[in-house]
Structure 1
Amino acid sequence: MTTWIEPSDLLALVAGLRVRGAEAVTDVVMRRPTELIPVTEPALPPLDIATYEVRLERWQQGEGPHLTGIEDLVAALRTLREPARAACVSGKVTTYAYVLDSALTRAIAAVAIDPPMTGTGP
């Protein structure tokens, strides 16, 4: 069964997070304001930790996409003690991946994924 969230409701949940990509959170989340955003069912962890650990390692080595908030996201995934949900939204340039509590009442962590920045490291 798929759970869905209104873009405005997701925006309210994630407003307190300090993760900012090349595109503003509001622009990405509200890109299609009438389309519901899919949210995963509660799981522990809600995203594959190994995948995000590899992304973190590559980012620290200056490889792959630019990842804002990846360290906090991986730490949150490693320390979760209760099932949580995930939601991903993509803009023209930036994709945001969010970890949300299972009741959809608060955002736990996020990562902004942008194209690689040439000549820069983490």
Structure 2
Amino acid sequence: MSLPTRTGRSLSRASLMVAAALLGVAVSTAPQAKAANVYWDSDASTAGNSTTLGTNLGGSGTWDTSTANWYNGSAELAWNNANLDTAVLWGAGDYFPSSPSLTTVSLGAGITVGGLTFN
């Protein structure tokens, strides 16, 4: 049985299978987002943020996928469900183990995470 032709030549099944395999490799090696730790930052400001101490991170607010209230160590960004990031939530404002404060984070949308860390 002859397969479709291109410029007068028959394409063999083997050629088609090789082409399909190469396409599969190309698709599977395409750059993909990697999960990361991102930090809840209700004031949506990078000023003075410390991912080590929790300084200027935390606070109460609404977690959704459109508000840029997540800090990635250099910039504020909106939560992206597709990344499967780990959400790191500090207490309100600066971290003082001797006087913890109550923080309330409400979900404003369906959220998908790769992990949760509470500090």
Normalised TM-score (structure 1):
0.20
Structure with more helix by fraction: 1
Structure number with the bigger relative contact order (C-alpha 8 A, sep ≥ 6) is 1
Larger Rg: 2
- For normalisation by structure 2, the TM-score amounts to 0.20
